[in-house]
Amino acid sequence: MALQTKITRNSGFRLFLQSVIGRAYPRIIGTQRDLAWLFFDIFLPFISMVAYVFIYRALKAPEEYIGFVVLGSAMTAYWLNILWAMSSQLYWEKETGNLALYVISPASMMAILFGMASGGLFATTVRALFILIIGNWLFQVSYTITSFWALFLVFILTMVALYGLGMMLSSLFLLFNREAWHTANLLQAPVMLFSGFYFPVKVFNFWIAAAASLIPLTLGMDAIRQLVFPSGALLGFLTVKVELIVLAVLSVVFLAGAYFTLRWMEKLAIRYGRITDRLG
């Protein structure tokens, strides 16, 4: 039975990269294999998008508000992904036994989390694009992009900060076990309200809007609106430049936070036996 195939092993950055790709793979391939997302992640958000559009039309709101709703609906997909597929992911990985296998492998847990995040980002972008395309086609939304590169930078920084937050939360959720489920439920609706998914966050007073800005989507969406709608700048909470700086700071803070909470979680989980719950 002597094995004929000899194997070698990479280490360092190549191992890190392989681990990221390996963990991203199930999420990317899942988009093709499990088509239930077309109903749950496209059709259901689409219904709530239509409801908001009709509300704005009934109120005779400026036509750009329809664009706000379509854009907000697309961005909702990212928040739901952060809550349900990113934050609570390590908890579910523990339940299935994958977490123990990740921990005993030479891969760094940070690489595993990056893999989850990048796979989730890819899959969610597909969903968000679907919503955006259907919404634009149905409601004839028009965009006037003032700076493509600024728009690109805002989107990238928003995603880095957002998925950094998701990576940080996943470690915390693992430690809180079952409470994680309730926390995710608790965070879903209030954040959708205060981050201004369907309206400009400027309608709140400064301090509420500032507090809501801790969720990167708040400033990300605000900046995107300013860059793609003519009246966006008038309705913007802060200038795009300031929002870019805050998003860059949030990116660094959340990624560093993810690194340190992950180390802390791993240490505590190994000390208290929370990576696997089975006693034997």
Partner 1 sequence: MFAVETEALSRIYKIKKTRKEPAHTLVALDNVNLTVNQGELFGLLGPNGAGKTTLIKVLTTLLAPSSGVARVNGLDVARQPEDIRRQINMVSGGETSGYGLLTVRENLWMFTQFYGIPSKQANARIMELLKIVGLEDRANTKSSNLSTGLRQKMNIVRGFMTDPTVLFLDEPTLGLDVGAARDVRRFVRQWVNEDRRRTLLLTTHYMVEAEEMCDRVAIINQGKILACDTPQRLKASLSTEGVFSIQVSALDEVDFEDLKQIAGLRQGTLKQIEGGAQLELVLADDSVLASLINFLTAKGSQITTLHKREATLEDVFISLVGKSMKDVENGSPD
Site residues (CB under 8 A) for partner 1? 1-11, 14-15, 18-19, 21-23, 25-26, 29-30, 33-34, 96-98, 100-107, 112, 270-271, 273, 275-276, 278-280
Helix axes 109-139, 64-80, angle to 10 degrees: 150
In the complex, minimum distance from the CB of residue 23 to partner 1, in angstroms, rounded to a whole number: 7
Residue 60 or 278: the one with the smaller Cβ distance to partner 1 is: 278
In the complex, minimum distance from the CB of residue 31 to partner 1, in angstroms, rounded to a whole number: 10
Task: Tell me if 193 sits within 8 A of 139, measured CB to CB.
Answer: no
In the complex, minimum distance from the CB of residue 249 to partner 1, in angstroms, rounded to a whole number: 32
Q: Which amino acid is at 64?
A: E
Task: Tell me if 216 sits within 8 A of 158, measured CB to CB.
Answer: yes
Of 8, 10, 21, 9, residue with least CA distance to 111: 21
In the complex, minimum distance from the CB of residue 68 to partner 1, in angstroms, rounded to a whole number: 35
CB atoms within 10 A of CB 134: 17
Task: Tell me if 168 sits within 8 A of 37, measured CB to CB.
Answer: no
In the complex, minimum distance from the CB of residue 12 to partner 1, in angstroms, rounded to a whole number: 9
Residue 108 or 188: the one with the smaller Cβ distance to partner 1 is: 108
Task: Tell me if 251 sits within 8 A of 164, measured CB to CB.
Answer: yes
Task: Cite the beta strand spans of 78-166 per DSSP E.
Answer: none
In the complex, minimum distance from the CB of residue 2 to partner 1, in angstroms, rounded to a whole number: 6
Residue 24 or 240: the one with the smaller Cβ distance to partner 1 is: 24
Q: Measured between alpha carbons, how far is residue 122 from residues 42, 89, 94, 98, 125 in Å?
A: 15, 16, 23, 22, 5
